[in-house]
Each structure stands twice: as C-alpha cells, then as structure tokens.
Amino acid sequence: MADLAGGYSSVRFLKKDVYNYAGEIRYDKIADGDASAAIVYLKGKSRSDPMSRQPNIILRMLQNILEVMCNKVPKVVVIDGDKTMIQAVKDVFPNVTHCLCVWHIEKM
C-alpha cells in the first residue's frame, strides 16, 4: 500500500486503522451478531437432521442434563409443545412441573 501511495509519508492511515476497518467489515457480514448467526445455523441443522426429535435422543439428552446437575431434579421445566419432548421430560423428571413456553405458543 505504501508503495502504491509513494511512500509511508503519503499513506494517511495507520496499520491499526486497517485492522479496525477489516474488523468492521467482518462484523457487518454477521448481520445481527454472533447469536443470530448461531440460531440460524442451528435451525437449519434441526430441519435437516431427522434424528433431532426422536424420543431416544431427547431422553438421552435429558438424562445427561440430570447427570451434569448431580441428579438434582429441577422444580419446573419450560418446553415447547412437542409431544416427544413432553413425554421425555415426564420419563426423566416424573415429579416436575411442566410449563409451555409462551413464545412457542404464540408462534403456533
């Protein structure tokens, strides 16, 4: 860049300015931020993955959560209206209170 401009004295920005500009461009490509990009990716993955709602996978996931929580059962579980998920929660956490997520209800 300095060669094209005729030397370092002719360049009107610092090396740090270039890095900052590159960072801004990279951030702009992630339109709504990292979280939105992750959500879009995971939604696409769930649509393409036929195993994502199978009972045995959900059951194992809930059992892993229970194990990570040192077998402390939660008092309340907030879930969407998926019947497979509801049954798996009943199997793993038999005495827990089930609540439906308002956001999911409004999306129906």
Q: Is the dihedral of CA 60, 65, 70, 75 positive or negative?
A: negative
Output the DSSP codes for the chain.
-HHHHTSGGG--S-HHHHHHHHHHHHHHHSTT-HHHHHHHHHHHHHHH-TTTT-HHHHHHHHHHHHHHTTT---SEEEE-S-HHHHHHHHHHSTTPEEEE-HHHHHH-
Per-residue confidence band for 90, with pLDDT thresholds at 50, 70 and 90: very high
Burial 52-65 (b: 16+ CB within 10 A, else e): eeeeeebbeebeee
* Mean pLDDT in residue range 72-80: 90
**How many angstroms separate the CA atoms of 100 and 108, rounded?**
12
Quick one: pLDDT band at residue 9, thresholds 50, 70, 90?
confident
Q: What is the pLDDT of residue 31?
A: 57
- Enumerate the domain spans of the chain: 1-49, 50-107
pLDDT, tens digit (0-9, with 9 covering 90-100), for 10-67: 777 777 888 888 878 777 766 556 677 777 777 777 777 655 566 688 888 899 989 9
pTM above 0.85, yes or no: no
Q: Give the pLDDT confidence score for residue 98 in this predicted structure.
A: 84
Q: What is the pLDDT of residue 55?
A: 67
Residue 81, pLDDT above cutoff 70: yes
